[in-house]
Amino acid sequence: MHTEIFSFGTKGSLQASSDSEAHSLVPIRLSSKPLRASRPRGSKRIALLFALLLSAFVIPHPSFAQAAKAKVAVSANYQIEPGKFAPLDKTRVLAGELIAVDHVNRAGVLRDDRADDQNRVNWDRPHPFALLPYATVMHHGAPADLRDIPPGTHLHAAFFEGPPVPQFPDAYKPVLGLPGRLSKYIEFSRVARLEDDFSRDARLGRSWRVDSLDADAGKLTVTAISADKNADAKTLVFDIGADARVWRGRGFAALTDVQPGLSVNFNITLATMYGPGRITAIWLDGESRAAATAHQLERHRRFQRERGLAGWIDAVDNELGKISITLFSGVDVKLFDAFTPLGSCRAATAAESLRVWDPINDAKGGASVVTKSAPLGDGDSGVRVSLIVGKQGMIEGFRPGRCVRLWPGDGKIITGWPVISAPREERLMEQ
């Protein structure tokens, strides 16, 4: 706590000093001789009494009082609740460039796009985020993991308010200690959906019509075309150069192949800093877009089969040794086909970051019953798994609200997905 300390100078006058403002301290010469107790008299007695009265009070620094007031204030924004799926229509959608990634903990930092509701001191400030356990990540039009998205990619994120992201503490320190020099949206820290421009356009059914290309100046003029084929009234001019990857069919094309009239999609970087942005990759036809999506989809499927599908525990029956699980959405729906209505699977406990402790030794398996019902909200796949692990298999992490990862089958490649050891950096158990 920042407090103000009051002391008496040599003239007996009251002076204020601050523990963070060294220049206001009153220097006091200390003697090496032991102090001798004496009975205060006259004005000294009054001064001592006044000092004792002051010492009974702690005067908080104004910044602490403001923080305390802010803490008890009720936010008007939607608050996520443990064990419940938060609705996407309650999110604050923001865009920015991915400038730092901690893919192991499913966290990162965006440099927010500049916007009219920001002050100049808010421009280009780091904005940390952490993915919710049931968050959907999309890259090139297919489900993805945060590790699949290259730094520098422009992204769109659906945010909820949340606590600070511990992996990036420096983002919460105002530049030069001056108030306000932070991201304007710093309190929004939990993400339910993250997607690149390619994926967002695919979800909205939007494309871009090429109006003109000035290769020498490095400028591409385009018009947005909505899903119902209506053209935007405003054209945009993006930067583009020889470093941009141009895709046509199942291979590369040249920048000169970007011709007026083509319907294209692209990803960008440096959005709003020097204009609308700089194109890093552009797809000239449907075949090239489909190839990009198919490649990312296979990458996603392989990752999920190795790490296990994520969900959380709805209920536990300790007497029967049964756990009831809801699997998260945000993955390729064909992966659920591996969970047969009557079969077996294995489950390992996981943190909210979906990191596991030791899947080889922690994964407990048994007979399972899989049903499908209407999703209870965004992030809910509707797939319910009742797994009998027995009393001996009821480990500490099997509690309602806790996250798990599931592998269909008995953990061997012959009858399901093999349970393999996660890379050391992904395991929570220290060895």
Q: How many CB atoms lie within 10 A of CB 259?
A: 11
- pLDDT tens digit sequence for 70-84: 444 457 899 999 999
Last residue of a domain, one of 140, 174, 201: 201
Are β-strands 231-239 and 245-248 bridged in parallel, bridged antiparallel, or unpaired? unpaired
Higher pLDDT, 29 or 122: 122
- pLDDT tens digit sequence for 74-121: 578 999 999 999 999 999 999 999 999 999 999 999 999 999 999 999
Q: E-strand spans in 19-70?
A: none
Amino acid identity, residue 262?
A: L
Confidence of residue 395 (pLDDT cuts 50, 70, 90): very high
98 located within any domain: yes
139 and 102 in a common domain: yes
346 located within any domain: yes
pLDDT of residue 303: 98
Higher pLDDT, 59 or 222: 222
Q: Which domain holds residue 247?
A: 205-300
pLDDT of residue 176: 86
248 located within any domain: yes
Specify the CATH number for the domain of residue 284. 2.40.50.320
Closest CA relative to residue 283, chosen from 208, 390, 186, 177: 208
253 and 171 in a common domain: no
64 and 93 in a common domain: no
273 and 356 in a common domain: no
Domain count, the chain: 4
Q: Is the pLDDT of residue 379 over 60?
A: yes
Token code pair at residue 45 = 């007695």
Q: Is the pLDDT of residue 9 over 70?
A: no
368 and 320 in a common domain: yes
Question: Percentage of residues in the chain with pLDDT exceeding 70?
Answer: 81
117 and 66 in a common domain: no
Q: E-strand spans in 284-415?
A: 309-317, 322-328, 342-350, 364-372, 380-388, 403-408
324 located within any domain: yes
pLDDT of residue 416: 85
211 and 196 in a common domain: no
- pLDDT tens digit sequence for 243-296: 999 999 999 999 999 999 999 999 999 999 999 999 999 999 999 999 999 999
Q: Is the pLDDT of residue 186 over 70?
A: yes
pLDDT of residue 64: 32
Could you tell me the pTM of the whole model?
A: 0.82
101 located within any domain: yes
277 and 251 in a common domain: yes
33 located within any domain: no
Q: What is the mean pLDDT of the chain?
A: 86
Last residue of a domain, one of 201, 236, 251: 201
256 and 196 in a common domain: no
Amino acid identity, residue 408?
A: P
62 and 114 in a common domain: no
59 located within any domain: yes
pLDDT of residue 44: 52
418 and 318 in a common domain: yes
